Structures are given as C-alpha cells and as structure tokens.
C-alpha cells in the first residue's frame, strides 16, 4: 500500500510492536497484527505482535525513566510537550488522513482529532507552571501546613478505536508535565496511528536528550498486553477508554491490587427537546450528534426525548435532514459519514435493530447495510431513526452505531429529565430550550446526572479545556482540562514545626 500519507508518516509494510520514545524494537516472530481500512477493505500495514518479553522491556525502561523524569522541573517537562505539539502541527494533515483511513471517521473529524492533540499539548504546557497545592493554617503554634503534588510513576493508557490518537494525547501530555511516564496500548483496530505518532516525535526525544521510556507504546492484544498492564503493580494508574465490559475488567484488576484507575466508558446520551426549543439549532445538533463518526463517539446522540407538542415536527425535520446525509469514502470531504469500523460493528448494529423490532419499536428511516460501488468493504450503513420507548431493553444499551431512538414525553421537563437519567450510563446530555426555568432545572441538583450537561448545543464532542468523563456505568475520573491533572499525581500533606516546642494535635498531652 503506497498512499502518500503513509509514506509521509514513515509507515511501511511491517512496523515494530514497541517503541520507548525514539527507539522502535520487537519483531514479528510471534506473528503479526494486520490493519485494514474500513473505507475500502484494503490492508494498510502489518505490525509484529508484542511478546511478554517486549512488555517487560517497555515497563522496565519506563520505570527507569521515571527515576529521572520526576526530578526534571515541571516547566522543562512542559518544554518537551511544547515541542511535541510543534511536531504534531507538522504532521497534522497526513496523521488526520491516517486516522480517517484506518478507523473510518470523516477527514474533517480526523483532522479535528489531531487538532485536539495539539490543543491539549498547549494546555499541558501552560499547566506545567500551574500544578498548584494549597496552604492551610495549622491549629498548632509555629507550624505550617501545606499540600503538594508529586509525580506518581507509570501511567498505563489503554485507548479505544474511535479516538485512536486524541485520548493518548489527553493522558500522555498531562502525565508528562506531571512528571509521570506513560505506556500506551493503542486499540488493535487502529494501531498504525500510534506508530505514525512515534515515528514523528522520536526526534523530539533525541533532540532533548530525553531518556528512553518517558513515553512508550506497545501493540498487542488486550487480553495479553492489556491484562499485563492492569495487573502490574509497577503501574500505579491505569487510564482506560473503552466499553463498559472492558472497563469493569480493568476496575476489578486495579482494585485487587489497590491501583488507581480512570475509566472512560460507554455512553447513552440523550437530548431533551422542550416546547420552547429553537429547531434551527436543534436539528443540525441532533444530526451531527448521531451521524458524526458514524455514531461511534462515546458522546454520540443516541436518544431524543421530545415533548409531545414538538414530536411530529421534529420527526419530519429529522427524516428530511437524514435524506441529505452523504455516505461514502471518509477521505472525500464531500461526504458527511464514513463507514463503521469493521463488519463486526455492522453486525452489532443489525442485531440491535432486530432486538428493537422484537421489542415493538418501529424503524422509520435507514438502517440498511450499503452495497455496490464504493461500499465494497461491507462497513457502510445508512443512519437509522427508530421510534421507541426509553424503558426498552435495547434503548437502555449503548449500540456503537448511528441509531437514534425517538422517545416522547408529556408534561413538565422533570419527566423528560427522569427519562434522560433513566439509563445505566451517565456521560453526556443536552437540553434544547429557551425557557430559563427548564434550563436551570436540567442543570440543578435534580437535573442531568451525567458528567457533561449542555444547553442548546448537542451531546457530541467536548472542548479540551473542560474536565471530561462520566458517571454510573460510564466509569469514573476525569481527563483533559480543568483540574483533571490531579488524577495523575499523588497528593502529600506536609506539616512543618518551626518552633521550639512539640505541641500535639487535638490538644493531647504526652509527657515522657
Ligand atoms: P473496547 O472495550 O473493545 O476496547 C477498548 C480497549 O481495551 C482496546 O485497546 C482493547 O484492546 C482493550 N482491552 C480489551 N480487553 C482488555 C483487557 N482484558 N484488559 C485491558 N485492556 C483490554 O472498546 P472499543 O470498541 O475500542 O471502543 C468503543 C467503546 O469505547 C464504546 O463503548 C465507547 O463508548 C467507549 N469510549 C468511551 C469514551 C469516553 O471517554 N467515555 C471515549 C471513547 C470511547
């Protein structure tokens, strides 16, 4: 495969399974992992499979690197991240193309994802001078108390296929300025994007004399590499992005060794449309939320909870808008929607639609698998609109595909909020309303129970400046902006006695 962007990114026919910064190693003696494009079904490249000895090498190298990296001043660590950001700017176009080609999102979204990496680098550079702790007044005379934040060690990053590069950057850049080192296991559905990044940033490590091991990747199956990581006591923090099923496995393994975890798992995101909603804003937000990334964003809109007075109007407007969605090659910028990631995802979508039918839901638009010229990979589907009820079993689940369930409510917004919250997941939510009372109710303590709650914008996507994450089955912890950095550091409370007495706390007298 000799696509120009692969050449620009240094991706040949066979890539090595591990890299500890600038040095790639490992081999293909244990077989290879192949990466196919869902856009045209073609083989993009092969990667040797990592062995247990490769895993040991990566973690031992990271452990050694941490002993050095933790003592580098944080702003100097930020300088490395700044230079990585510069490198990412240089490869934004080819990397965005590879993201699009390897996992199927539209080129615009592929480029947007790389932009997100660049933005998080900039954010982390600023953060490297702002890792603040608090001081507090001691109850004892001549004592000073404060807290400081120290680097934690190795951060294990496990990423999902749908944001194959941005999730790594959210974690690795914050970890790096916090003085941690990171080991990344990319998704086996999009491993070449990881290799492309390290091909580019290797120079930055070399130019700055950064020891091997500050940032690494290892390509291998979740059940081998992933399992080794989550059970490894040398890795104090695992940040895992993926399905709730895998997240529960990660949580169990980490909890058994009292390791920490950040879990960014499945969502089942709803938009509430109230009688006062401005449909000029609502309809495009819904269509992008459901069809963007072919419904394969954790924040994709999966449910609409529509007031009965608006229902027919919204339904008609959506069907009309869906007929204009152009589906096809994700690298062709005239298309809105590319393929699903693989034929397994297509089958999951078809199975979900069958379950919906059996539960009495009606498919009112789309859902078919597309065939014919341009659709040979078998991964293209028509986005689908289904009339359903929130309590149906299939509506309670996250199906990672462009299926939108329309549900109705009557009465006050409280009833819509109850439906919105009435699923096991808690990632993203939105309300379209111009009524301040409804909006405030939605944002109140009785309102949305999700990690993200938006007003007059959709559920899909988030800015890197905010803390990103969810509640309930979506997991725990936050990534990216705000004070998410605290998850990557250990907090230490310090008490200093600068007096000549030794007063005990709580007034305790202890004469010896
Ligand atoms: P997945 O759960 O199949 O895989 C996620 C990652 O976990 C992969 O790298 C996989 O190899 C690894 N893995 C599998 N078994 C493992 C094990 N036993 N131990 C350790 N790691 C293991 O998910 P996917 O299909 O790649 O991604 C889609 C899912 O990710 C959806 O549910 C989506 O909602 C979720 N997601 C969530 C967020 C978020 O921020 N909340 C973001 C992106 C994706």
**pLDDT digit string (tens) for 390-448?**
999 999 999 999 999 999 999 999 999 999 999 999 999 999 999 999 999 999 999 99
Measuring from atom 11 of ligand 1, which residue has the nearest CA? 222
Q: Domain 4-265+475-492 is of which CATH architecture? A: 3-Layer(aba) Sandwich (3.40)
pLDDT band at 220, cuts 50/70/90? confident
Q: Is the CB of 451 under 6 A from ligand 1?
A: no
Q: Give me 103's structure tokens.
A: 């996992």
Report which ligand 1 atom has the smallest distance to the Cα of 188.
11
pLDDT band at 511, cuts 50/70/90? confident
Q: Is the CB of 190 under 6 A from ligand 1?
A: no
Q: Is the CB of 264 under 6 A from ligand 1?
A: yes
Of 187, 163, 108, nearest to 297 (Cα)? 163
Active site residues: 264, 298
Report the pLDDT averaged over residues 123-152: 97
Has residue 347 got a pLDDT over 90? yes
Q: Looking at the chain, which residues constitute the CATH 3.40.309.10 domain(s)?
A: 269-455
pLDDT band at 311, cuts 50/70/90? very high
Percent of the chain's residues with pLDDT above 70:
100
Indicate the pTM of the whole model: 0.97
pLDDT band at 223, cuts 50/70/90? confident
C-alpha 160 – ligand 1 centre gap (Å):
4
261-276: burial string, b at 16+ Cβ within 10 Å, e else = bbbbbbbbbbbbbbeb
Query: CB 188: neighbour CB atoms within 10 A?
Result: 18
> Which pLDDT score, from 0 to 100, does residue 224 have?
80
Q: Is the CB of 227 under 6 A from ligand 1?
A: yes
Of 497, 474, 492, nearest to 241 (Cα)? 474
Report the pLDDT averaged over residues 87-110: 98
Report which ligand 1 atom has the smallest distance to the Cα of 253.
19
Q: Looking at the chain, which residues constitute the CATH 3.40.605.10 domain(s)?
A: 4-265+475-492
> Which pLDDT score, from 0 to 100, does residue 512 have?
81
Report which ligand 1 atom has the smallest distance to the Cα of 227.
19
322-352: burial string, b at 16+ Cβ within 10 Å, e else = beebebbbbbeeebbbbbbbbeebbeebeeb
Measuring from atom 15 of ligand 1, which residue has the nearest CA? 222
Task: Give the whole-angstrom CA distance, residue 417 versus residue 359.
Answer: 23
Q: Is the CB of 477 under 6 A from ligand 1?
A: no
Q: Is the CB of 297 under 6 A from ligand 1?
A: no
Helices (H), strands (E): how many in the chain? 14, 25
Measuring from atom 30 of ligand 1, which residue has the nearest CA? 242
C-alpha 174 – ligand 1 centre gap (Å):
20
pLDDT band at 16, cuts 50/70/90? very high
C-alpha 451 – ligand 1 centre gap (Å):
18
pLDDT band at 222, cuts 50/70/90? confident
Measuring from atom 18 of ligand 1, which residue has the nearest CA? 223
E-only strand ranges, 186-309: 215-218, 237-241, 260-264, 269-273, 301-307
C-alpha 164 – ligand 1 centre gap (Å):
10
Q: Is the CB of 158 under 6 A from ligand 1?
A: yes
> Which pLDDT score, from 0 to 100, does residue 37 have?
98
Query: CB 81: neighbour CB atoms within 10 A?
Result: 24
Q: Which H or E run contains 186?
A: none
Measuring from atom 43 of ligand 1, which residue has the nearest CA? 298
Q: SS3 for 32?
A: strand
Q: How far apart are the first and last CA of the chain?
A: 80
pLDDT digits (tens, 9 = 90+) for 189-213: 999 999 999 999 999 999 999 999 9
Report which ligand 1 atom has the smallest distance to the Cα of 479.
40
C-alpha 466 – ligand 1 centre gap (Å):
22
Of 293, 326, 338, 335, nearest to 39 (Cα)? 338
Q: SS3 for 491?
A: strand
Query: CB 309: neighbour CB atoms within 10 A?
Result: 10
Report the pLDDT averaged over residues 120-146: 97
Measuring from atom 13 of ligand 1, which residue has the nearest CA? 222
C-alpha 247 – ligand 1 centre gap (Å):
7
Q: Is the CB of 253 under 6 A from ligand 1?
A: no
- CATH T-level fold of 269-455: Aldehyde Dehydrogenase; Chain A, domain 2 (3.40.309)
Q: Is the CB of 480 under 6 A from ligand 1?
A: no
Percent of the chain's residues with pLDDT above 90:
96
């Amino acid at each position: 495969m000799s696509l120009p962007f692969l050449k620009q990114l240094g991706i040949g026919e066979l890539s090595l399974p591990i890299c500890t910064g600038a040095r790639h190693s490992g081999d293909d003696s244990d077989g290879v992992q192949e990466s196919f494009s869902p856009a045209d079904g073609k083989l993009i490249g092969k990667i040797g499979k990592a062995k247990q000895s490769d895993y040991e090498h990566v973690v031992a190298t990271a452990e050694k690197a941490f002993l050095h990296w933790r003592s580098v001043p944080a702003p100097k660590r930020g300088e490395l991240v700044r230079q990585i950001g510069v490198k990412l700017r240089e490869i934004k176009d080819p990397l965005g193309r590879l993201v699009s080609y390897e996992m199927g999102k539209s080129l615009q979204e592929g480029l947007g994802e790389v932009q997100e990496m660049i933005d998080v680098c900039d954010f982390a550079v600023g953060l490297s001078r702002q890792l603040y702790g608090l001081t507090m007044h001691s109850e004892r005379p001549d004592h000073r108390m404060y807290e400081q934040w120290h680097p934690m060690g190795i951060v294990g990053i496990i990423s999902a296929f749908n944001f194959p590069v941005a999730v790594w950057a959210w974690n690795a850049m914050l970890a790096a300025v916090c003085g941690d080192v990171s080991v990344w296991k990319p998704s086996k559905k999009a491993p070449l994007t990881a290799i492309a990044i390290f091909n580019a940033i290797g120079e930055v490590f070399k130019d700055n004399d950064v020891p091997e091991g500050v940032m690494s990747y290892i390509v291998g199956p979740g059940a081998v590499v992933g399992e080794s990581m989550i059970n490894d006591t040398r890795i104090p923090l695992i940040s895992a992005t993926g399905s709730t099923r895998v997240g529960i496995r990660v949580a169990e393994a980490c909890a058994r060794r009292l390791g920490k975890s950040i879990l960014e798992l499945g969502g089942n995101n709803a938009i509430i449309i109230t009688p006062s909603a401005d449909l000029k804003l609502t309809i495009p937000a819904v269509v992008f939320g459901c069809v963007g990334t072919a419904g394969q964003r954790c924040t994709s809109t999966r449910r609409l909870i529509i007031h009965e007075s608006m229902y027919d109007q919204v339904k008609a407007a959506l069907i009309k808008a869906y007929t204009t969605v152009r589906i096809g090659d994700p690298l062709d910028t005239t298309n809105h929607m590319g393929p699903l990631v693989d034929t397994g995802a297509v089958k999951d979508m078809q199975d979900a639609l069958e379950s919906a039918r059996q539960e009495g839901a009606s498919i009112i638009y789309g859902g078919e698998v597309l065939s014919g010229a341009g659709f040979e990979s078998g991964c293209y589907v028509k986005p689908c609109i289904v009339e359903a009820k929130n309590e149906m079993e299939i509506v309670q689940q996250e199906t990672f595909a462009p299926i939108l369930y329309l549900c109705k409510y009557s009465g006050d917004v409280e009833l819509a909020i109850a439906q919105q919250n009435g699923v096991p997941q808690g990632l993203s939510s939105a309300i379209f309303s111009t009524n301040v009372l409804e909006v405030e109710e939605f944002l109140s303590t009785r309102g949305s129970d999700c990690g993200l709650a938006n007003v007059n914008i959709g559920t899909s996507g988030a800015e890197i400046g905010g803390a990103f994450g969810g509640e309930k089955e979506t997991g725990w912890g936050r990534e990216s902006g705000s004070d998410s950095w605290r998850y990557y550091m250990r907090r230490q409370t310090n008490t200093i006695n600068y007096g000549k007495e030794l007063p005990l706390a709580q007034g305790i007298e202890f004469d010896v």
